[in-house]
């Protein structure tokens, strides 16, 4: 499939600028036929839409939307490195959810990123995934998402 940038437009989305790293790393690296993104926070125009733990400070629905933003930020990193049209398929997504006590809805939160990938890539967006609850994330973000995609050389 091609036309991923066109598909984003159809969805009413545009790729944001690549989020600058908050520490000593790069947004994405290519190794052979694969691109690995660094963990992407839900930064929008340099800030987080909300901070804190999901289930106490942030609702699961808000966190799901932020996971979607993380996914969009990861796509921007991929596009800047190799071009989004080079993606053959999404291989793996890992989502980290800063979870309040007793919160167990991590899979539903990370669906925000997974559903975005399905909307953009169709069949090629189906992927393996982990959704992990954690105590803290950088900048007190509620969610962080990283991914691995296979690309054409």
Q: Is the pLDDT of residue 114 over 70?
A: yes
96 in a structural domain: yes
Q: In what order do the strands lie in the sheet with 28-31?
A: 28-31, 34-37, 143-151, 87-98, 128-134
CATH of the domain at 51: 3.30.1330.40
34 in a structural domain: no
24 in a structural domain: no
pLDDT by residue (tens digit) across 3-48? 999 999 999 999 999 999 989 999 999 999 999 999 999 999 999 9
- The parent domain of residue 130 ranges over 4-16+40-151
Q: What is the mean pLDDT of residues 60-86?
A: 98
Instruction: Give the pLDDT band (50/70/90) at residue 153.
Output: confident
77 in a structural domain: yes
Q: Is the pLDDT of residue 2 over 70?
A: no
22 in a structural domain: no
**Full-model pTM:** 0.96
Total domains in the chain come to 1
92 in a structural domain: yes
Decide if 88 contacts 53 (C-beta within 8 A). no
C-alpha separations of 117 from 71, 92, 114, 144 in Å: 8, 11, 5, 15
Instruction: Give the pLDDT band (50/70/90) at residue 1.
Output: very low
């Amino acid at each position: 499939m091609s036309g991923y940038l066109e598909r984003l437009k159809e969805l009413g989305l545009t790729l944001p600028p690549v989020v600058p790293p908050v520490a000593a790393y790069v947004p994405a690296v290519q190794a052979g036929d694969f691109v690995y993104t660094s963990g992407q926070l839900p930064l929008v125009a340099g800030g987080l839409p909300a901070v804190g733990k999901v289930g106490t400070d942030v609702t699961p629905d808000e966190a799901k939307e932020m996971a979607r933003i993380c996914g969009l930020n990861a796509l921007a990193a991929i596009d800047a490195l190799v071009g989004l049209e080079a993606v053959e398929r999404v291989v793996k997504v890992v989502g980290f959810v800063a979870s309040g006590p007793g919160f167990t809805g991590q899979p539903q939160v990370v669906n925000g990123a997974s559903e975005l990938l399905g909307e953009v890539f169709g069949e090629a967006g189906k992927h393996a995934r982990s959704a992990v609850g954690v105590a803290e994330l950088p900048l007190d973000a509620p969610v962080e998402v990283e991914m691995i995609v296979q690309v054409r050389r």
